[in-house]
């Protein structure tokens, strides 16, 4: 009986380490400590058993006492095993909950990472598109800047060419003026014209009776078609209908190549072209007045308008020259004061 009990205890003690393999480290150490104590007690009991065999009648009592102690120890071990089993189940449940929570967290994290990767991909595509657009815009701006520089260069070259043409025309006009006028500014008369004038003077000595004008002859003379066309162009200019004014003055010049209003019509044609943005055409029209009619009241005004036209080309050098020409050729005119003020600002 004692051997059977000891065998049962030994088996329980042998199974105890296997059952506690899933328990926490501290509980495992405590259980091992208790097992060692029980092993020590078994050894003591075996020693006592051998002593009892030798000692006679006390053997049975000692054995019964030891059996009771072993039974008590076994009950205690069973209770401990039940507690350990409960702890194991609780730990297992807690581990499962933690595992599920970790899996859920991992899935959420993977979803967020995927979303961020998708956003990064879209951002990168947008950045690449924006970079391409910026490069295209930069290239376009560079091309436009080059075109503007080329246009400005061509305008400057054209302006200098026109300035040279203007200077040549002016020199030609001065030479023609010097050939037909004396040093005091009086126009020279050829011998043939002198003879004709002397003949006219002899004829004018005879008194000429002028008839008394009739009432119908004193009526105001109506304007000619040329004057009406000129007035029409002037009205259109003042109404800021510059294209219509250009058409009217151009028609006037085409139909009337020797009219007294010819210089005025050329001046207003140039002014209309200037207002309409045709700066090259305006320069040429004003040059006709400066070259062909240098003594006309519109000549100094034409020089000022020429300078204004060259201002639109950005050629300050030609502007300064034209303002100086106004001061040189027409020093006492009102336009000279304007030219002096303009020149001081350049």
CB 338 within 8 A of CB 180: no
The CA distance from 282 to 229, in Å, is 20
Domain boundary among 63, 94, 114: 114
197 inside domain: no
The pLDDT of residue 215 is 43
The residue behind tokens 């991909």 is 121
How far the first Cα of the chain sits from its last, in Å, is 134
Counting as low any pLDDT under 70, the low residues of the chain are 1-25, 27-28, 52-59, 149, 152-221
215 inside domain: no
Q: Is 56 left (phi over 0), alpha (psi -120 to 50) or beta?
A: left
The pLDDT of residue 217 is 36
The pLDDT of residue 208 is 39
271 inside domain: yes
The CA distance from 32 to 17, in Å, is 7
The residue behind tokens 């044609």 is 269
The CA distance from 108 to 114, in Å, is 10
pLDDT tens per residue, range 100-145: 888 998 998 889 889 888 888 888 888 888 778 877 887 888 888 7
127 inside domain: no
pTM for the model: 0.42
The 3-state secondary structure of the chain reads: CHHHHHHHHHHHHHHHHHHCCCCCHHHHHHHHHHHHHHHHHHHHHHHHHHHHHHHCCHHHHHHHHHHHHHHHHHHHHHHHHHHHHHHHHHHHHHHHHHHHHHHHHHHHHHHHHHHHHHHHHHHHHHHHHHHHHHHHHHHHHHHHHHHHHHHHHHHHHHHHHHHHHHHHHHHHHHHHHHHHECCCCCECCCHHHHHHHHHHHHHHHCCCCCCCCCHHHHCCCCCCHHHHHHHHHHHHHHCCCHHHHHHHHHHHHHHCCCCCCHHHHHHHHHHHHHHHCCHHHHHHHHHHHHHHCCCCCHHHHHHHHHHHHHHHHCCHHHHHHHHHHHHHHCCCCHHHHHHHHHHHHC
The pLDDT of residue 218 is 36
Number of domains in the chain: 2
259 inside domain: yes
The residue behind tokens 């002593």 is 51
133 inside domain: no
pLDDT tens per residue, range 159-168: 556 656 656 6
The CA distance from 319 to 230, in Å, is 30
Q: Is 314 left (phi over 0), alpha (psi -120 to 50) or beta?
A: left
Domain boundary among 79, 114, 149: 114
Range of the domain at 318: 224-345
CB 231 within 8 A of CB 259: no
140 inside domain: no
CATH number at 280 reads 1.25.40.10
Domain boundary among 85, 114, 143: 114
The pLDDT of residue 24 is 58
The residue behind tokens 């194991």 is 88
36 inside domain: yes
The CA distance from 298 to 266, in Å, is 10
């Amino acid at each position: 009986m004692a051997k059977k009990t000891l065998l049962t205890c030994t088996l329980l003690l042998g199974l105890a380490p296997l059952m506690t393999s899933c328990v926490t480290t501290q509980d495992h150490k405590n259980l091992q400590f208790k097992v060692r104590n029980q092993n020590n007690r078994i050894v003591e009991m075996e020693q006592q058993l051998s002593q009892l065999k030798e000692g006679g009648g006390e053997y049975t009592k000692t054995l019964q006492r030891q059996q009771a102690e072993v039974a008590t120890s076994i009950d205690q071990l069973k209770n401990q095993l039940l507690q350990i089993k409960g702890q194991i189940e609780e730990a297992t449940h807690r581990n499962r909950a933690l595992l599920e929570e970790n899996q859920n967290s991992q899935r959420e994290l993977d979803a967020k990472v995927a979303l961020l990767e998708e956003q990064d991909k879209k951002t990168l595509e947008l950045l690449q598109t924006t970079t391409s657009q910026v490069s295209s815009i930069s290239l376009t701006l560079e091309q436009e800047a080059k075109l503007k520089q080329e246009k400005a260069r061509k305008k400057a070259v054209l302006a200098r060419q026109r300035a040279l043409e203007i200077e040549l025309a002016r020199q030609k006009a001065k030479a023609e003026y010097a050939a037909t006028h004396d040093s005091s500014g009086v126009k020279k008369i050829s011998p043939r014209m002198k003879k004709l004038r002397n003949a006219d003077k002899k004829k004018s000595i005879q008194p000429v009776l002028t008839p008394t004008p009739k009432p119908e002859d004193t009526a105001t003379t109506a304007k000619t078609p040329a004057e009406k066309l000129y007035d029409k162009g002037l009205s259109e200019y003042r109404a800021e209908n510059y294209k219509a004014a250009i058409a009217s003055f151009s028609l006037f010049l085409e139909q009337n190549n020797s009219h007294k209003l010819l210089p005025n019509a050329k001046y207003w044609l140039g002014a209309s072209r200037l207002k309409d943005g045709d700066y090259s055409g305006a320069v040429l029209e004003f040059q006709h007045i400066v070259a062909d009619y240098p003594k006309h009241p519109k000549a100094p005004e034409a020089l000022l308008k020429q300078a204004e036209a060259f201002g639109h080309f950005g050629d300050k050098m030609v502007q300064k020259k034209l303002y100086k020409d106004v001061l040189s050729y027409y020093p006492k005119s009102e336009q000279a004061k304007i030219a002096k003020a303009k020149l001081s600002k350049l």
